[in-house]
């Protein structure tokens, strides 16, 4: 392990350009002749489009063209798809309603795109967009998932009767019901997981450029997975065949899942570029992002957790209704099913589990994966009900958990997952120690003297990262494989380029991936470059989401490095007239073990390219590629403890302590991992305390700006105490588990458990705003 290798706190290589404003985002891209686009969006949540009159708009200054959905359809552009097939428990396939990139005869949410205006300047495009006359016939709207299932609710799609997309189940209903029937204690709860807006710092953007001479398209877009974008746009949307379409995702300013999906705008910009003959750029403004980015969460659940007389868990029964919004976004169907219900066993031995999930259409923005994707919903549900059960049973929350922990591995849960490794008690102990759990009673007394209500809550999460293997996810309905690719090019002077199918939009891949290579060959980290985000450079990849880049992306790099190393050793052995098996790589040189005979790395590389003196029959050059398909998910887990003080006069909650003890397997760069945990916890606290996406009954988005939607700020957060106690993942070569989402997954229940502990009322929903906490306090007083 060198100073720059695995385990070192190397400062991020990419930060200089980011913090000096030198990053290059889609909005920084300029193509000669480029024009600017503005989308005309529906002001209604649900309406028929009677007529679109573009005459006036087309005549406005600077306007190149105004295009509508009918033209798009007649050019053969396809509807958007959902890439994961889920079957209902009756065997029928999910009911997917049509989603045209530009609405043709009906709009289904406020923000639904109906036309694109292309003009010389963005201002002119805006002016003209206001002049597009759309006659709507308003229809009744429904925004809450529970309401959408009721008889007589407005119907969104003819394909989905009763707005029901699927009615899916997992686990053993009979065994679960039987166990509940004979349980010594059953804790029942109604759990709401609040809807969130992703709020990446960089709004979505697309620049479509059709090159007539080459009959070739280029799309610069804010994507977490440019290759998937190219695949889907060519295979399903008929934009262009893959060999005629290049997708570039340059620097991308945050994604959190919201930039996985292929949205209407990039498709329409590409199509409009060919149609108008000019490159077309669109950049969302902030309110447009609120309206049209895929939202997250939005579950309503009834849950029962059963115990025997010894407080051992015997069964978990879950009935969830998930809101998928107006259309099925790319991976929306998988989030409340395989990314959610398969984690319902948590860290516990629960012999019988059954979950039923219904997903429904509503007149709201589409809902898809958002940092954690299904796993935060599962964790919130389970950790709220476990904490509540401990209160009902009168046992310490930590002890109830400890008693039920999975302790021997591998452990096969009743809901597909097979946990490979972990030490949940170790995380629990570490967190309780760091939080001085034993001293809490004293702190509570002290706070009381100051008129504050102090509470403590914990959450013991488990999640699944590096979703895999491809054959398994394929059998569950995934439309794509979930492997990763890498290519390692050693240049003639020994510098190294790594081409990866992973995509960095804040994760620090340029640093961590370089550390891997630098450590392996003993070369300086500056001599390693990471290339990503361009389908013309990297052949194929699956992108970055679900905390997969370390576990899957780096594993692919390891495979390619293995091949490079094997060839490099062959060359060195030949040059040193030694046996290949005696060659070792140390400090940037290939040495004959136990001697001072060596050839520096760069000389070996030069020899590979001069090809003057290579082993007989060896091809010149040094470049190797690999594809890596994991054999299992990875299972990061940990324990989070939150301590709060509530001001009883105003209901304001101060988070006075937050402890995270995680198990992420082996760690490449502890500083970057801590940064990921900090950011994740901030988002989790945001969900628990501050963020709540709200539509009114007519489907207008009430939280469409930062005046009404509260993002976490530094002042809302304490200094986090984070630590790791790691068990290496047995299923990938580096032993990595993944750390990108854990913070957002583990923290919300810890916060709500702490507040409900403080106020003595368990009836509290997220976000726990001061008004809600105050109201819960008033209600508690009445009882």
Partner 1 sequence: MYSVNYHRAASVADAVKKVKAGDGKFLAGGMTLIPTMKSRLAAPSDVVDITRIASLSGITVSGKTVTIGATTTHAEVATNAKLAKVCPALCSLASHIGDPHVRHKGTIGGSISNNDPAADYPSAMLALGATIVTNKRQIPADKFFKGLFETALKEDEMVTEVTFTAPAKAGYAKFPNPASRYAVTGVFVAKGKDGVRAAVTGAGDNGVFRSKEVEAALAKKFDAASLDGVKVSAKGLMGDIHATPEYRANLVVVMAKRAVAAANG
Binding site for partner 1 (CB under 8 A): 123, 126-127, 130, 287, 649-652, 690, 694, 702-703, 706-711, 716, 769-771, 774-775
Q: Cβ distance 361 to 82 under 8 Å?
A: no
Q: Which is nearer to partner 1, 393 or 775 (CB)?
A: 775
Backbone angles phi, psi at 18, to 5 degrees: -70, -45
**Structure token digits, residue 542:** 């699956």
d(CA 272, CA 117): 9
Q: Which is nearer to partner 1, 495 or 703 (CB)?
A: 703
Q: Which is nearer to partner 1, 126 or 140 (CB)?
A: 126
d(CA 709, CA 690): 8
User: Min. distance of Cβ 111 from partner 1 in angstroms?
Assistant: 15
C-alpha dist (Å) from residue 139 to 45, 47, 144, 159: 8, 5, 16, 18
d(CA 497, CA 176): 53
Q: What is the radius of gyration, based on Cα positions, of the chain?
A: 27
The position carrying tokens 């790791």 is 724
| Sequence-ordered list of residues with C-beta below 8 angstroms from that of 652, at least 6 positions apart, any chain | 646, 770, 773
User: Min. distance of Cβ 720 from partner 1 in angstroms?
Assistant: 20
Q: Which is nearer to partner 1, 94 or 701 (CB)?
A: 701
The position carrying tokens 């008929």 is 238
**Structure token digits, residue 69:** 């959905």
Q: Which is nearer to partner 1, 407 or 771 (CB)?
A: 771
Dihedral in degrees, nearest 10, Cα atoms 763, 767, 768, 774: -90
| Sequence-ordered list of residues with C-beta below 8 angstroms from that of 24, at least 6 positions apart, any chain | 250, 251
d(CA 553, CA 180): 43
User: Min. distance of Cβ 765 from partner 1 in angstroms?
Assistant: 14
Query: Could you tell me which residues are beta bridge partners of residue 41?
Result: 113
Q: What DSSP state is assigned to residue 35? A: E
**Structure token digits, residue 652:** 């304001």
Q: Which is nearer to partner 1, 121 or 412 (CB)?
A: 121
411-412/352-360 β-pairing? unpaired
| Sequence-ordered list of residues with C-beta below 8 angstroms from that of 408, at least 6 positions apart, any chain | none
Q: What DSSP state is assigned to residue 490? A: E
d(CA 178, CA 482): 37
**Three-state DSSP state, 570:** helix
User: Min. distance of Cβ 206 from partner 1 in angstroms?
Assistant: 23
Q: Which is nearer to partner 1, 412 or 650 (CB)?
A: 650
**Structure token digits, residue 71:** 């033209």
User: Min. distance of Cβ 717 from partner 1 in angstroms?
Assistant: 13
User: Min. distance of Cβ 451 from partner 1 in angstroms?
Assistant: 12
Q: Which is nearer to partner 1, 145 or 704 (CB)?
A: 704
Q: What angle do CA 623, 545, 712 make, to 5 degrees?
A: 135
User: Min. distance of Cβ 694 from partner 1 in angstroms?
Assistant: 5
User: Min. distance of Cβ 122 from partner 1 in angstroms?
Assistant: 11
Q: Which is nearer to partner 1, 366 or 686 (CB)?
A: 686
Is the bond leading into 403 cis (omega within 30 degrees of zero)?
A: no
Q: Which is nearer to partner 1, 247 or 776 (CB)?
A: 776
User: Min. distance of Cβ 504 from partner 1 in angstroms?
Assistant: 30
Q: Which is nearer to partner 1, 152 or 715 (CB)?
A: 715
d(CA 401, CA 424): 10
User: Min. distance of Cβ 658 from partner 1 in angstroms?
Assistant: 18
User: Min. distance of Cβ 690 from partner 1 in angstroms?
Assistant: 6
């Amino acid at each position: 392990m060198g100073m720059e290798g695995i385990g070192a706190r190397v400062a991020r290589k990419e930060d200089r350009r980011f913090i000096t404003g030198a990053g290059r985002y889609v909005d920084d891209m300029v193509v000669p002749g480029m024009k600017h686009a503005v989308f005309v969006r529906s002001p209604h949540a649900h309406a028929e489009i009677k007529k679109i009159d573009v005459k006036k708009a087309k005549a406005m200054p600077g306007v190149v063209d105004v295009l509508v959905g009918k033209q798009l359809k007649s050019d053969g552009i396809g509807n958007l798809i959902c890439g994961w097939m889920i079957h209902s428990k009756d065997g029928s396939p999910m009911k997917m309603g049509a989603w045209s990139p530009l609405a043709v005869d009906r709009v289904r949410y406020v923000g639904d795109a109906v036309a694109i205006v292309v003009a010389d300047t963005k201002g002119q495009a805006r002016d003209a967009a206001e002049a597009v006359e759309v006659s709507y016939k308003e229809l009744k709207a429904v925004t809450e998932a529970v309401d959408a299932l009721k008889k007589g609710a407005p119907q969104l799609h003819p394909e989905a009767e009763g707005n029901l997309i699927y009615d899916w189940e997992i686990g053993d209903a009979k065994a679960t019901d039987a166990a509940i029937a004979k349980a010594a204690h059953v804790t029942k709860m109604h759990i709401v997981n609040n809807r969130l807006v992703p709020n990446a710092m960089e709004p979505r953007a697309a620049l479509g450029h059709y090159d007539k001479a080459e009959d070739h398209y280029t799309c610069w877009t804010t994507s977490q997975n440019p290759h998937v974008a190219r695949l889907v746009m060519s295979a399903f949307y008929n934009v262009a065949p893959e060999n005629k379409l290049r997708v570039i995702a340059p620097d991308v300013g945050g994604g959190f899942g919201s930039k996985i999906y292929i949205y209407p705008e990039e498709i329409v910009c590409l199509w409009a570029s060919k149609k108008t003959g000019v490159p077309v750029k669109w950049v969302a403004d902030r309110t447009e992002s609120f309206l049209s980015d895929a939202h997250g969460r939005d579950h309503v659940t009834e849950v029962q957790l059963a115990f025997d007389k010894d407080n051992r868990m015997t069964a978990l029964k879950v009935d969830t209704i998930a809101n998928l919004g107006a259309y099925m976004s790319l991976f929306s169907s998988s989030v409340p099913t395989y990314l959610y219900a398969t984690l319902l066993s948590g860290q516990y031995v629960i012999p019988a589990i059954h979950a039923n999930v219904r997903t429904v259409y509503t007149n709201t923005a589409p809902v898809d994966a958002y940092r954690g994707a299904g796993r935060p919903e599962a964790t919130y549900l389970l950790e709220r009900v476990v904490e509540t059960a401990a209160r009902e049973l009168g046992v310490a929350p930590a002890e109830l958990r400890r008693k039920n922990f999975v302790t021997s591995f591998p452990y096969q849960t009743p809901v597909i997952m097979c946990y490979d490794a972990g030490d949940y008690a170790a995380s629990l102990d570490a967190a309780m120690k760091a939080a001085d759990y034993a001293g809490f009673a004293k702190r509570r007394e002290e706070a009381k003297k100051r008129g504050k209500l102090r509470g403590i809550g914990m959450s013991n999460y488990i999640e699944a990262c590096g979703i895999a293997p491809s054959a398994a996810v394929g059998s569950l309905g995934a439309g794509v494989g979930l492997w990763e690719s890498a290519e390692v090019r050693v240049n003639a002077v020994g510098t190294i380029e790594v081409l990866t199918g992973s995509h960095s939009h804040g994760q620090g891949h340029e640093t961590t991936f370089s550390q891997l290579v630098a450590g392996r060959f003993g070369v300086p980290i500056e001599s390693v470059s990471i290339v990503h985000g361009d389908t013309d450079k990297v052949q194929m990849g699956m992108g970055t989401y679900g905390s997969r880049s370390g576990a899957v992306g780096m594993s692919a790099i390891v495979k390619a490095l293995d091949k490079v190393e094997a060839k490099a050793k062959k060359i060195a052995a030949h040059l040193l007239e030694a046996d290949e098996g005696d060659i070792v790589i140390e400090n940037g040189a290939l040495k004959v073990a136990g001697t001072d005979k060596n050839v520096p790395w760069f000389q070996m590389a030069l020899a590979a390219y001069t090809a003057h003196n290579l082993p007989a029959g060896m091809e010149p050059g040094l470049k190797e590629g690999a594809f890596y398909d994991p054999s299992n998910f990875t299972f990061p887990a940990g324990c989070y403890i939150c301590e709060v003080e509530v001001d009883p006069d105003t209901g304001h909650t101060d988070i006075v302590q937050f402890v995270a003890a995680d198990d992420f397997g082996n760690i490449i760069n502890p500083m970057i991992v801590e940064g990921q945990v900090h950011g994740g916890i901030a988002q989790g606290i945001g969900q628990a305390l501050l963020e709540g996406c709200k539509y009114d009954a007519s489907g207008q988005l009430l939280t469409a700006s930062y005046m009404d939607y509260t993002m976490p700020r530094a002042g809302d957060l304490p200094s986090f105490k984070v630590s790791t106690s790691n068990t290496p993942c047995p299923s990938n070569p580096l032993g990595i588990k993944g750390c990108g989402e854990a913070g957002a997954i583990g923290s919300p229940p810890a916060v709500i458990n702490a507040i409900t502990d403080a106020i003595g009322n368990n009836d509290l929903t997220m976000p726990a705003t001061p008004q809600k906490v105050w109201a819960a306090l008033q209600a508690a007083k009445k009882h």
